A and B are shown apart, each in its own frame.
Chain A
Amino acid sequence: MKSYTDNIKEISKRLLKEDKVDMVIGYRTGSVPLMHQPFFAQNQEEVDEFVWDSNCGLNLANYITDRTERIGILATGCNSRNIAVHIVEGKIKREQLYIIGIPCKGMVDRHKLSAMADGDITSVEDENNGSITITGQNFSKTVDKAEVLQENCSVCVHRNPVIYDELAAEEVTEQKRDDVDPYARVKEIEALSPEEKWAHFDDLLSDCIRCYACRNACPLCYCPLCFVDESNPQWVGKSIDHTDVRTFHFLRAYHCAGRCTDCGACVRSCPVGINVRDFTKKLEKDCLELFDWEAGLNTEQRPPLDTYRPDDPEEFIK
């Protein structure tokens, strides 16, 4: 059986050779373990740099916003859903894209792996049998991949791409919401008292340095001018004052409501380990419960907060 990487290279080379696309967007091996780099290939040699394993955790839909070329792009379940959101929101045209679907087995959490290592990790082997081996100067450890998955991947119910032109591997079995509760953590927070919730979110954001890695890694955050960058008038202060930090995170989360696919790029990119998904996952749950809506499952419907239906829930209006 050919590996994902081999298939991706073969498809990409064919697309470029047949002049179906101008570029293919994928990943190349990073210079440090657990960190592959989003990368575009325009010729056969560059395609040879492509790699696919459990360290490709950013969202490639972030890289197609407003592009004009014909693009081949790798897309896992969540990435394909964000591509669909992009198409619905007019950020790219479906006919510009050749989507190479990647049935996804989940990405590993580099913080969890680093915490398990007895020293600095110098190499990572992603075995096909569902285990991960990390090696450092004086240690080598093999762990079950399921234990070190990113939290969003471990509760994912859309591992297979929802739109694609070609698959790079056979579809994988989907998890069901009955077997794995994607909202277990949200429910824990919902059960807190208002004071406890406030304390939880205060603690969650206490380390934020406002580098905006979460925002910039997010394919939904494509505004030409983000509200925090408005300077005339200026809406939000620039310091690390708690009110301003909260304003940024709360408002950004609401802007993502009904559009977020829980790809986890925000959490993965945060340098100080803030679980940004504590905000976005709650909004995802609300959209599912109130509007029976999951983001990016087709390329026609606009998200619920973008539209009005006479039967929209309105119990919150007192």
Chain B
Amino acid sequence: MKVIRIDKNDWAEGIEKIRKTYSLIGPVKEKFYHIFANLGSGQMPDMEFTNSRISPKYIIYPQSEIILKCSMNAEEEDYKIYREPEDKEYKEKAVLGIRPCDADSLPVVMRNFDTDEYKDPYWLRAFETTTLVGLACDAPCPSCFCTSAGSGPYNHKNLDVMLIDNKDHYLAEIITEKGEKLAEAAGWQDKAEGIADEIAKRKSDAESKIESNVHTDNLAKQPLLDLYEATSIWEKAAFACINCGTCTYVCPTCWCFDIQDEVYGREGFRIRNWDSCMYPLFTLHASAHNPRGTKLARLRQRFMHKLKYYVDKYENGIQCTGCGRCVRLCPVNIDIRRICNMMNSYDPETCTCEATVS
């Protein structure tokens, strides 16, 4: 793999060059935490950040997205005929500083949006036009558990370029063709030789800083209905849960949505909005019956989906990359590490499990 040395003195110049081809998105501190935002002219990403408070999934999958439009003027030909908006642009964009855990969430979400049967044009077009310039993670949070969730602080498999902060310069691993194209546009070409060992050491140092983990080895083997009926797992957590959507909205791998029609003046819009399995409305039937009518049923659905149904259906690990956002932001401390370890260790004979967070 090609590794390029980018002197930090030249960093801003390279960014200015790629602005000509790409619209840029990067970490910015707004109020008291970081978000990923469009970088205005001359604005630089704050690469000293830990991670964004909310996952950057909205770059490709916005919280509210207009997917179809129509005229609501009865005199017009396309009255109430929905069409794709003509002004929807998919300009090449580059995300600077995305962390490996968040990049690793994309193939997880893609399993839902890109199947043999259905292809989601909005998600896929946005994904295809995005180049990910990741930033390896040297100071993970105490609540991160990426290494046991199929990701890792130096995991570059879903990045186009991975930057490694090396004091006065970045080492940039050029991973894909998209990454190659971006490096060329930026004029980054100073090859770094003989640093493979150093990068390997940095990687293992970073991995050793991950203090917590989840045990997932037994999840696929657990009988589904036994977990479903495991009151000892669900009862106490469901009591504390307030059924807000924080965990699902900050999560990089939660993909559920709702479609709504709205009218503004003489125009109609079909909008796709994030939705959450924590809400009663998510499953409310037109008949007024709600198959997930209780708090316990909704909490259980979130964890069963991420840690059992997904595991069984895709045979590709858990639907979680260990970013730790839900652990940090759940107002009532429902900890996915604890729930995952309970599910993994659950013994249907004795109805017992181990509740640990490491």
Q: Which residues of B contact A156 (CB under 8 A)?
A: none
Cα of A42 to Cα of B327 in the assembled complex, Å: 26
Q: Which residues of B contact A237 (CB under 8 A)?
A: 260, 262
A31 touches B284 (CB 8 A): no
Give the residue of B141, B244, B327, B335 whose beta carbon is less than 8 angstroms from that of A213.
B244
Q: Which residues of B contact A35 (CB under 8 A)?
A: 330-333
Q: Cβ of A133 < 8 Å from any Cβ of B?
A: no
Q: Cβ of B64 < 8 Å from any Cβ of A?
A: yes
B281 touches A229 (CB 8 A): yes
Closest B residue to A232 by beta carbon equals: B286
| Given contact pairs A39-B236, A272-B54, A241 touches B64 in the complex (Cβ within 8 A) | yes
Closest B residue to A213 by beta carbon equals: B244
What's the count of A-B pairs with C-beta under 8 Å?
112
CB distance from A105 to the nearest CB of B (A): 21
CB distance from A96 to the nearest CB of B (A): 17
A residues 24-58 with Cβ under 8 Å of B?
Answer: 30-32, 35-40, 58
B143 touches A32 (CB 8 A): yes
Contact with A along B269-289 (1 / 0, CB 8 A): 001010110011100100000
Q: Cβ of A131 < 8 Å from any Cβ of B?
A: no
A residues 51-101 with Cβ under 8 Å of B?
Answer: 58, 62-63
**Chain A interface size range:** 35 or more
B331 touches A229 (CB 8 A): no
Q: Which residues of A contact B284 (CB under 8 A)?
A: 231
Q: Which of A139-147, A192-200, A204-212, A276-284 contacts B (4 or more CB under 8 A)?
A: A204-212
Q: Cβ of A238 < 8 Å from any Cβ of B?
A: yes
B residues 299-329 with Cβ under 8 Å of A?
Answer: 327-329
B332 touches A58 (CB 8 A): yes
| Given contact pairs A120-B142, A238-B260, A239-B64, A213 touches B236 in the complex (Cβ within 8 A) | no
Q: Cβ of B338 < 8 Å from any Cβ of A?
A: yes
CB distance from B32 to the nearest CB of A (A): 6
A37 touches B240 (CB 8 A): yes
Q: Cβ of A3 < 8 Å from any Cβ of B?
A: no
Q: Cβ of B88 < 8 Å from any Cβ of A?
A: no
CB distance from A239 to the nearest CB of B (A): 4
A residues 209-246 with Cβ under 8 Å of B?
Answer: 209-213, 215-217, 229, 231, 237-241
Most chain A CB within a 10 A radius of its CB, from B53, B330, B333:
B333
B258 touches A63 (CB 8 A): no
Q: Cβ of B239 < 8 Å from any Cβ of A?
A: yes
B32 touches A111 (CB 8 A): yes
Most chain B CB within a 10 A radius of its CB, from A39, A63, A111, A271:
A271
A31 touches B333 (CB 8 A): yes
Q: Cβ of A115 < 8 Å from any Cβ of B?
A: yes
B273 touches A239 (CB 8 A): yes
Q: Which residues of B contact A207 (CB under 8 A)?
A: 30-31
Closest A residue to B235 by beta carbon equals: A40
B31 touches A271 (CB 8 A): no
B276 touches A211 (CB 8 A): yes
B residues 223-261 with Cβ under 8 Å of A?
Answer: 236, 239-240, 242-246, 248-250, 258, 260
Q: Cβ of B33 < 8 Å from any Cβ of A?
A: yes
Closest B residue to A25 by beta carbon equals: B239
**Chain B interface size range:** 35 or more
Q: Which residues of B contact A273 (CB under 8 A)?
A: 31-33
Q: Cβ of A268 < 8 Å from any Cβ of B?
A: yes
Q: Cβ of B337 < 8 Å from any Cβ of A?
A: yes
Q: Cβ of B63 < 8 Å from any Cβ of A?
A: yes
Closest B residue to A114 by beta carbon equals: B32
Contact with A along B329-354 (1 / 0, CB 8 A): 11111110110000000000000000
A239 touches B246 (CB 8 A): no
Give the residue of A36, A40, A63, A216 whose beta carbon is less than 8 angstroms from that of B243.
A216
Q: Cβ of A247 < 8 Å from any Cβ of B?
A: no
B279 touches A229 (CB 8 A): yes
Cα of A229 to Cα of B53 in the assembled complex, Å: 26
CB distance from B307 to the nearest CB of A (A): 17
CB distance from A270 to the nearest CB of B (A): 8
Q: Which residues of B contact A39 (CB under 8 A)?
A: 236, 239-240
B338 touches A31 (CB 8 A): yes
Q: Which residues of A contact B54 (CB under 8 A)?
A: 209, 271-272
A32 touches B328 (CB 8 A): yes
Cα of A255 to Cα of B139 in the assembled complex, Å: 44
B329 touches A271 (CB 8 A): yes
A38 touches B239 (CB 8 A): yes
B244 touches A216 (CB 8 A): yes
Cα of A271 to Cα of B249 in the assembled complex, Å: 10
Cα of A138 to Cα of B84 in the assembled complex, Å: 54
Q: Cβ of B124 < 8 Å from any Cβ of A?
A: no
CB distance from A140 to the nearest CB of B (A): 15
Closest B residue to A237 by beta carbon equals: B262
A209 touches B249 (CB 8 A): yes
Cα of A181 to Cα of B243 in the assembled complex, Å: 34
B residues 108-154 with Cβ under 8 Å of A?
Answer: 139, 141-143
Give the residue of A211, A229, A231 whose beta carbon is less than 8 angstroms from that of B249.
A211
Closest A residue to B334 by beta carbon equals: A37
Q: Cβ of A122 < 8 Å from any Cβ of B?
A: yes
Give the residue of A31, A122, A210, A229 whose beta carbon is less than 8 angstroms from that of B280.
A229
B31 touches A239 (CB 8 A): no
10 inter-chain pairs at a CB distance below 8 angstroms, sorted by A residue, are A30-B335, A31-B333, A32-B333, A35-B331, A216-B244, A239-B260, A269-B242, A269-B246, A271-B249, A272-B33
Q: Closest 10 CB pairs between A and B?
A: A269-B331, A239-B64, A213-B244, A30-B333, A216-B242, A211-B245, A37-B333, A31-B335, A216-B244, A35-B333
B residues sitting closer than 8 Å to A (CB atoms) are: 30-33, 53-54, 63-64, 139, 141-143, 236, 239-240, 242-246, 248-250, 258, 260, 262, 271, 273, 275-276, 279-281, 284, 327-335, 337-338, 357
Beyond A62-B242, A272-B54, 4 extra complex contacts between A and B, CB < 8 Å: A35-B331, A36-B333, A212-B245, A273-B33
